[in-house]
Amino acid sequence: MSEAQVTAVTREHAGEHADEHEAYCAVEHQLGVLLRRARAFSAEMGREVHPELEPGAYSLLIRIDEVVPARSSDLTEYFGVGKATISRQLKVLEELGLIEREPDPADGRAHLLVLTGEGRQRLAGARSARQERFRAMLGTWDLGDVELLARMLGRFNTLTDSWTEPGRERGRA
Protein backbone atom coordinates (compact mmCIF):
# COMPACT_ATOMS: atom_id res chain seq x y z
CA MET A 1 0.00 0.00 0.00
CA SER A 2 1.36 3.41 -0.93
CA GLU A 3 1.76 6.27 1.51
CA ALA A 4 -1.13 8.08 -0.21
CA GLN A 5 -3.37 5.04 0.23
CA VAL A 6 -2.43 4.77 3.92
CA THR A 7 -3.20 8.45 4.41
CA ALA A 8 -6.58 8.05 2.65
CA VAL A 9 -7.50 5.03 4.79
CA THR A 10 -6.41 6.87 7.96
CA ARG A 11 -8.54 9.90 7.06
CA GLU A 12 -11.51 7.67 6.23
CA HIS A 13 -11.12 5.86 9.56
CA ALA A 14 -10.86 9.18 11.41
CA GLY A 15 -14.00 10.34 9.62
CA GLU A 16 -15.84 7.22 10.76
CA HIS A 17 -14.82 7.96 14.35
CA ALA A 18 -15.96 11.57 13.99
CA ASP A 19 -19.32 10.41 12.59
CA GLU A 20 -19.67 7.90 15.43
CA HIS A 21 -18.78 10.56 18.01
CA GLU A 22 -21.32 12.97 16.52
CA ALA A 23 -24.00 10.27 16.52
CA TYR A 24 -23.49 9.50 20.22
CA CYS A 25 -23.37 13.21 21.07
CA ALA A 26 -26.69 13.64 19.27
CA VAL A 27 -28.21 10.69 21.21
CA GLU A 28 -26.94 12.13 24.51
CA HIS A 29 -28.38 15.56 23.67
CA GLN A 30 -31.75 14.30 22.44
CA LEU A 31 -32.17 11.97 25.44
CA GLY A 32 -31.38 14.88 27.76
CA VAL A 33 -34.08 16.99 26.10
CA LEU A 34 -36.53 14.06 26.18
CA LEU A 35 -35.88 13.35 29.87
CA ARG A 36 -36.31 17.01 30.88
CA ARG A 37 -39.58 17.20 28.97
CA ALA A 38 -40.73 13.83 30.30
CA ARG A 39 -40.19 14.99 33.90
CA ALA A 40 -42.26 18.12 33.27
CA PHE A 41 -44.91 16.07 31.46
CA SER A 42 -45.01 13.53 34.27
CA ALA A 43 -45.45 16.31 36.82
CA GLU A 44 -48.34 17.69 34.77
CA MET A 45 -49.95 14.25 34.52
CA GLY A 46 -49.48 13.76 38.25
CA ARG A 47 -51.39 16.97 38.92
CA GLU A 48 -54.19 15.62 36.74
CA VAL A 49 -54.39 12.56 39.01
CA HIS A 50 -54.40 14.75 42.12
CA PRO A 51 -53.32 18.37 42.62
CA GLU A 52 -51.15 17.40 45.61
CA LEU A 53 -49.37 14.53 43.88
CA GLU A 54 -45.59 14.88 43.67
CA PRO A 55 -44.07 14.43 40.18
CA GLY A 56 -42.23 11.22 41.07
CA ALA A 57 -45.32 9.69 42.60
CA TYR A 58 -47.10 9.55 39.24
CA SER A 59 -44.55 7.02 37.95
CA LEU A 60 -44.92 5.09 41.19
CA LEU A 61 -48.68 4.95 40.71
CA ILE A 62 -48.24 3.65 37.15
CA ARG A 63 -45.81 0.96 38.32
CA ILE A 64 -48.14 -0.21 41.09
CA ASP A 65 -50.91 -0.50 38.48
CA GLU A 66 -48.62 -2.48 36.15
CA VAL A 67 -47.50 -5.08 38.71
CA VAL A 68 -50.51 -5.30 41.05
CA PRO A 69 -50.01 -6.20 43.78
CA ALA A 70 -46.72 -4.40 44.43
CA ARG A 71 -44.23 -4.68 47.27
CA SER A 72 -42.42 -1.54 48.40
CA SER A 73 -39.09 -3.42 48.23
CA ASP A 74 -39.72 -4.24 44.57
CA LEU A 75 -40.57 -0.59 43.87
CA THR A 76 -37.37 0.50 45.60
CA GLU A 77 -35.34 -1.80 43.37
CA TYR A 78 -37.25 -0.92 40.20
CA PHE A 79 -36.80 2.84 40.62
CA GLY A 80 -33.31 2.59 42.08
CA VAL A 81 -34.09 4.83 45.05
CA GLY A 82 -33.85 4.40 48.80
CA LYS A 83 -36.47 2.84 51.02
CA ALA A 84 -37.11 6.17 52.75
CA THR A 85 -37.96 7.86 49.44
CA ILE A 86 -40.39 5.14 48.42
CA SER A 87 -41.95 5.00 51.90
CA ARG A 88 -42.52 8.76 51.93
CA GLN A 89 -44.15 8.73 48.49
CA LEU A 90 -46.28 5.69 49.33
CA LYS A 91 -47.48 7.41 52.48
CA VAL A 92 -48.61 10.42 50.44
CA LEU A 93 -50.36 8.18 47.89
CA GLU A 94 -52.12 6.41 50.73
CA GLU A 95 -53.12 9.67 52.43
CA LEU A 96 -54.56 10.92 49.13
CA GLY A 97 -56.67 7.75 48.93
CA LEU A 98 -54.98 6.54 45.73
CA ILE A 99 -53.44 3.32 47.10
CA GLU A 100 -54.06 0.98 49.99
CA ARG A 101 -52.03 -1.66 51.76
CA GLU A 102 -53.19 -5.23 52.05
CA PRO A 103 -51.57 -7.94 54.16
CA ASP A 104 -49.18 -10.15 52.19
CA PRO A 105 -50.47 -13.72 52.55
CA ALA A 106 -46.96 -15.04 51.88
CA ASP A 107 -45.36 -12.88 54.60
CA GLY A 108 -47.47 -11.72 57.53
CA ARG A 109 -45.02 -8.89 58.28
CA ALA A 110 -45.24 -7.37 54.81
CA HIS A 111 -47.91 -5.49 52.90
CA LEU A 112 -48.94 -5.49 49.26
CA LEU A 113 -49.82 -2.22 47.55
CA VAL A 114 -52.84 -1.84 45.29
CA LEU A 115 -54.66 1.08 43.75
CA THR A 116 -57.95 2.03 45.31
CA GLY A 117 -61.00 2.43 43.10
CA GLU A 118 -60.39 6.19 43.23
CA GLY A 119 -56.73 5.68 42.34
CA ARG A 120 -57.59 3.47 39.34
CA GLN A 121 -60.18 5.95 38.12
CA ARG A 122 -57.90 8.98 38.44
CA LEU A 123 -54.92 7.17 36.89
CA ALA A 124 -57.04 5.96 33.97
CA GLY A 125 -58.22 9.52 33.32
CA ALA A 126 -54.66 10.89 33.40
CA ARG A 127 -53.33 8.11 31.16
CA SER A 128 -56.13 8.69 28.67
CA ALA A 129 -55.29 12.42 28.63
CA ARG A 130 -51.61 11.58 28.14
CA GLN A 131 -52.39 9.27 25.22
CA GLU A 132 -54.56 11.95 23.63
CA ARG A 133 -51.73 14.44 24.02
CA PHE A 134 -49.32 12.03 22.29
CA ARG A 135 -51.89 11.52 19.54
CA ALA A 136 -52.17 15.30 19.08
CA MET A 137 -48.37 15.77 19.06
CA LEU A 138 -47.68 12.90 16.68
CA GLY A 139 -50.84 13.25 14.61
CA THR A 140 -48.96 14.66 11.62
CA TRP A 141 -46.63 11.64 11.48
CA ASP A 142 -47.28 8.59 9.35
CA LEU A 143 -48.53 5.68 11.46
CA GLY A 144 -45.42 3.72 10.43
CA ASP A 145 -43.22 6.42 11.99
CA VAL A 146 -45.22 6.32 15.24
CA GLU A 147 -44.89 2.53 15.31
CA LEU A 148 -41.16 2.83 14.60
CA LEU A 149 -40.75 5.30 17.47
CA ALA A 150 -42.58 2.92 19.81
CA ARG A 151 -40.40 -0.02 18.71
CA MET A 152 -37.16 1.95 19.06
CA LEU A 153 -38.13 3.27 22.50
CA GLY A 154 -39.07 -0.28 23.52
CA ARG A 155 -35.75 -1.56 22.24
CA PHE A 156 -33.87 1.14 24.13
CA ASN A 157 -35.86 0.51 27.33
CA THR A 158 -35.17 -3.22 27.11
CA LEU A 159 -31.48 -2.46 26.71
CA THR A 160 -31.43 -0.13 29.72
CA ASP A 161 -33.37 -2.65 31.83
CA SER A 162 -30.60 -5.20 31.46
CA TRP A 163 -27.51 -3.01 31.14
CA THR A 164 -25.25 -2.45 34.13
CA GLU A 165 -22.35 -0.04 34.03
CA PRO A 166 -19.12 -1.77 35.06
CA GLY A 167 -18.47 -1.27 38.77
CA ARG A 168 -22.03 -0.25 39.59
CA GLU A 169 -24.89 -2.13 41.18
CA ARG A 170 -27.89 -2.63 38.89
CA GLY A 171 -30.63 -0.05 39.47
CA ARG A 172 -28.34 2.52 41.08
CA ALA A 173 -27.18 5.65 39.32
pLDDT of residue 155: 93
* DSSP 8-state class, residue 112: E
Inter-residue contact 77 to 170 (CB < 8 Å) = no
Percentage of the chain lying above the pLDDT 70 cut: 84
For domain 3-162, give the CATH number.
Answer: 1.10.10.10
- Domain range list for the chain: 3-162
pLDDT at residue 70 greater than cutoff 90? yes
Distance (Å, rounded) from C-alpha 140 to C-alpha 148? Answer: 14
pLDDT tens for residues 7-57?
554 555 556 677 888 999 999 999 999 999 888 888 888 888 888 888 778
How many angstroms separate the first and last alpha carbons of the chain? Answer: 48
pLDDT at residue 172 greater than cutoff 50? no
